[in-house]
Amino acid sequence: MLNRSLVLNTLLALLLLWSFSASAARPIPAAPKIAASGYLLIDFDSGKALAEKNADQPLEPASLTKIMTAYVIFREIAEGNINLSEEVLISEKAWRMEGSRMFIEVGKRIKVETLLRGLIIQSGNDASVALAEHIAGSESTFAQLMNNHAKRLSMTNTNFVNSTGLPHKDHFTTARDIALVAAAAIREFPDFYKWYGEKSFLYNGIKQHNRNKLLWRDKSVDGMKTGHTKAAGYCLVASAKRENMRLISVVLGTRSEDARAQESQSLLNYGFRFFETHKLYSANEPLSHARIWKGDKKTLALGLTKDLYITIPRHSYKNLDAEMVLEPKLLAPISKGSALGHVSIKLEGKSVVEVPLTALEEIAEGNLFQQLKDHTLLWFE
C-alpha cells in the first residue's frame, strides 16, 4: 500500500510545478543569425529592440537614404510649403543622375506627387534630386534639411550629404537611426506611407517594379525601402503588421537581393512568433490623483504624456504588475506637464519600463486662508 504522506507530497509537488509553469514567462530563444553587416528589429509602438547586431555602427545606407528624403518632403507638404499638384522643373543635374531612375527628361515639368511615387516605388535618383532642388534650391542645401530632421529625431550617428544615397565618405547612418525615421514616417504620414506598398509604377511608358520582394512573399509586409551600392551591399527596411502588432526590420550589408529579403523575413517571423505588444495606458488619461497642498485645488490628476506600449514574451501578459509612485507632499503652484512621480511596469518582478507621471492640469497657489490651513495640517502631518 502506498504511503499516504508520500502521495500527498507528490501531488503537492506536481501542483506547485504546474502552477509555476502556468505563471512563468515562456523562454525566448536567441534571435536567428543574420548574415548582414548590421541589423535591427524593433516594435513600432513600444520601440523595443527585439534583435540587433552593430545597430549603432555607422554604415553606408545606399538608397535607404531616400526614407529621409521622402520624410523631409512629407513634412514640407504638411507645413504647406509645397503641394502634391505643383510642378517641378527638371534640371540637367537631375536628368543626368546615375543608378536607379524613373527616366524623367530635362526641361519638363512634373508634379510633386508623380516624382514622390517615382522616388519611393522606383527609387529614382533623378526624382530625388529634382525634388531636393525644388524644395531647397540645391541638393546640398536639402541635405542640411535632412540633417536637421535627423537631429530632431535623435538620429545621433547619421550624416547626409545627398538625397540619393550615392556613395560619399561623409554619408552614413546606422540601423537604429534608419529605424527611427522609418517609424516617424509611418506614424506621422500614414496616407503617404501607403505608396511604399505599391508593387509597380508606370511613368513615361516604362513600368518598373518595387524591389522589395517581401511585398510579394508576405502579405503582412506593407513597406518600406531597398538600397544597394557596391560599398553598402544589399539593404532593406521592411515593415509588417500582423493583428495589432507592427514590426520594423533594418538589414544592412547583405550579399544579394534574395539574401536581404530572406534575412528580413527571418527577423520579422522571429519577432511575431515570440513577442506580443500591448497598449497599457493612453496619453492624458488620469491614472492617479494626488493630494496638493496650498493650492486652489486639493487634488491633481496625473497621467502620461504619450501612450504607453510594452512588448513582452508571448503569453506573459497576466504576469505584469504596475506600480505608481508619487512624490511626497506636493506643493502648489504646479505647472501642467510637471513630472511628479512615475509608473513602474514589472514582469515577474523584473522592470520592463518606467515612465514619468505628469500633471494633467495646472494648479495655482491657493488664497491666504487655504495656504495657512494647509500649512497647519502639514505641521501635524
pLDDT tens, 195-252? 999 999 999 899 999 999 999 999 999 999 999 999 999 999 999 999 999 999 999 9
Percentage above 90 pLDDT, the chain:
85
Catalytic entry in 37, 46, 48, 63: 63
pLDDT in tens, 255-274: 999 999 999 999 999 999 99
- Mean pLDDT in the chain? 92
Catalytic entry in 37, 46, 66, 213: 66
Catalytic entry in 37, 46, 91, 123: 123
With both helix axes pointing from N to C terminus, report the angle between 65-78 and 125-136 in degrees, rounded to the nearest 10: 40
Can you tell me the mean pLDDT for 156-180?
Answer: 98
Give 30's pLDDT tier (boundaries 50, 70, 90). Answer: very high
Q: Is 138 noted as a catalytic residue in this protein?
A: no
Higher local confidence (pLDDT), 128 or 15 = 128
Residue 23, pLDDT > 80, answer: no
CB-side exposure of 377: number of CA atoms within 13 Å? 13
Domains and CATH numbers, the chain: 38-275 (3.40.710.10), 282-380 (2.60.410.10)
Q: Which residues are CB-neighbours of 262 under 8 A, at least 6 positions away?
A: none
pLDDT at 20: 40
Q: Is 154 noted as a catalytic residue in this protein?
A: no
Q: Given the C-alpha cell 509612485, which residue does it identify?
A: 325
Q: Is 128 noted as a catalytic residue in this protein?
A: no
pTM: predicted TM-score of the whole model, two decimal places = 0.89
For residue 91, give the nearest of 105, 74, 73, 81 by alpha carbon: 105
